[in-house]
Amino acid sequence: MASSPVLSPARVVARVQSCKSIPVNYVGRFAPSPSGPLHAGSLATALASWLDARAQGGRWLLRIEDVDTPRTVPGADRVIMGQLEALGLAWDGEVIWQSHRNEVYQAAFDALAAHGLIYGCGCTRREIADSALRGQTAPGADGERAYPGTCRHGLPPGREARAWRVRVPDGVEHFTDRWLGPQEQDVAQAVGDFALRRADGLWAYQLAVVVDDAAQGVTDVVRGADLLSSTARQRVLGRLLGLPPLRYMHVPLILDAASGLKLSKQNGAPAIDTGAPLQPLQAAWRALGFTPFPAEGVAPFLREATARWAERFPR
Ligand code: GLU
């Protein structure tokens, strides 16, 4: 972020809090997709990840996940950064933008390809859906059917590669989520070989997130439960790339009271109003299932919430 000679109150709070102990073994991050401003759902995730980092005396990084350029709204990154600052959720170090990181993703992709772990796939979405209808695949994660492996042993004659997929090894992936407990997924069965480079030429989220978490030295991912079904995939990919495993915590999603759907920019969740920043922070705290408490301002709220978080999730 741009350096300013005068620290904003939010940054002073963060500076003091991060000096309480020397961060050694915790690096967290918030990784919003800039498809719109923060709303109640994304704020709850940001708050949970900030509190966990601060409670552990760790660093908290900000990464703008604009790899999916068609979904990126120009200027939304700056709006999100301004909202975080107004809410006292200051980040450490430089912000990174995925759209600037093509070479890093390409290098990871090439490393996998050099080991024969990537193949070109000529299937359209329609063809994959049709093979699912014919019962060739098990019901998959994310409501999508697993990729049936049609092009795994070579493109059918006359077909060109559209997307590039990673060969998923057999086996069940196990991990313990710090919020949800033990988890497992058979990625080959539930997802199949997944795309790292999409048919539109863009890098897939799964590749970018794994590469960037490693590049930024992230140790702990705290994010919304909608991404739980991606975690086993990301662990498999990390292992294929020789990267150290991360710890995960998936926090509950905030649902829209009327529709019961996940609050999202796509379904029109209103932007957080940072005019009175304590109110949305307290709402996010409650939405995460914690008992409300009175606070006189953002800094005292964040101090108390950090202490309570540390009690709930001891080191
Ligand atoms: N960019 C993703 C989102 O905004 C989050 C990715 C992650 O935390 O791994 O939903």
Percentage of residues of the chain with pLDDT beyond 90: 79
Buried-exposed string 172-209: b where 16+ CB fall within 10 A, e elsewhere: ebeeebebeeebebebbbbbbbbbbbbeeebbbbbbbb
The band of 267, judged by pLDDT with boundaries at 50, 70 and 90, is confident
- Residue 31 alpha carbon to ligand 1 centre in Å: 5
pLDDT of residue 137: 56
The Cα–Cα gap between 219 and 226 comes to: 20
Radius of gyration of the chain (CA): 20
pLDDT of residue 249: 98
pLDDT of residue 133: 64
pTM: 0.89
pLDDT surpassing 90 at residue 236 = yes
Tens digits of per-residue pLDDT, 43-55?
A: 999 999 999 999 9
User: For ligand 1, is residue 123 a contact (CB within 6 Å)?
Assistant: no
The DSSP call for residue 64 is: E
The band of 85, judged by pLDDT with boundaries at 50, 70 and 90, is very high
The Cα–Cα gap between 9 and 297 comes to: 11
The band of 258, judged by pLDDT with boundaries at 50, 70 and 90, is confident
User: For ligand 1, is residue 228 a contact (CB within 6 Å)?
Assistant: no
Residue 177, token pair as written in the block: 């989520």
Query: Which atom of ligand 1 is the closest one to the Cα of 226?
Result: 10
The Cα–Cα gap between 286 and 252 comes to: 11
pLDDT surpassing 80 at residue 20 = no
Tens digits of per-residue pLDDT, 92-145?
A: 999 999 999 999 999 999 999 999 999 999 999 888 888 766 665 555 556 667
Residue type, 311: E
Tens digits of per-residue pLDDT, 151-195?
A: 999 999 999 999 999 999 999 999 999 999 999 999 999 999 999
User: For ligand 1, is residue 209 a contact (CB within 6 Å)?
Assistant: yes
The Cα–Cα gap between 202 and 205 comes to: 9
pLDDT of residue 18: 52
- Secondary structure (DSSP) of 266-298: TTTPPBP-TTSTHHHHHHHHHHTTPPP---SSH
pLDDT of residue 144: 67
Residue with CA closest to ligand 1 atom 6: 31
Residue 214, token pair as written in the block: 């490693």
pLDDT of residue 292: 97
pLDDT surpassing 60 at residue 23 = no
pLDDT of residue 2: 38
pLDDT of residue 262: 85
User: Are 168 and 188 spatial neighbours (Cβ–Cβ below 8 Å)?
Assistant: yes
pLDDT of residue 15: 47
pLDDT surpassing 50 at residue 201 = yes
Query: What are the chain's domains?
Result: 9-107+209-312 (3.40.50.620), 109-197 (3.90.800.10)
pLDDT of residue 264: 81
User: For ligand 1, is residue 306 a contact (CB within 6 Å)?
Assistant: no
pLDDT surpassing 80 at residue 229 = yes
- Give the ranges where the chain is alpha helix by DSSP (H): 9-19, 40-55, 76-86, 102-114, 125-133, 187-190, 205-215, 228-240, 278-287, 298-312
User: For ligand 1, is residue 33 a contact (CB within 6 Å)?
Assistant: yes
User: For ligand 1, is residue 204 a contact (CB within 6 Å)?
Assistant: no
